[in-house]
A = this chain, B = another copy of it.
């Protein structure tokens, strides 16, 4: 079973680290307990929609980007689990597009 909260946690942690933010900083800015954010990042707790919006605002991160990244990661997982054909995944199209850009830039 593909669990949304697990992939969401991975993306949120990755985005926080890319910004060089600590759990403590995000906790203070979002006014959410540090332990709760940590559990969300580890995919152990569901984040309510209000909490998710607060976390995104605290990191100056559009919710749409978080969900797009979660969607891409889940699409890969679905392929790995045989839940969908490779050709149908948006991630394949995205990769091809990226390769094109790289090729054009070269």
Contacts and interface: CB of A to CB of B under 8 A. Distances in A.
Interface of A: 1-6, 46, 48-50, 52-53, 62-65, 67-68, 70-72, 74-75, 78, 83-84, 88-90
Nearest to A83: B62
Contacts of A52: 4
Given A64-B90, A67-B71, A68-B90, A6 B49 contact: yes
Given A2-B53, A3-B53, A72 B78 contact: no
B46 A75 contact: no
Contact of A3 (B3, B46, B49, B89): B49
Q: Kindly name the residue among A6, A67, A70, A89 whose own CB sees the greatest number of chain B CB atoms within 10 A.
A: A67
A25 to B, nearest CB: 21
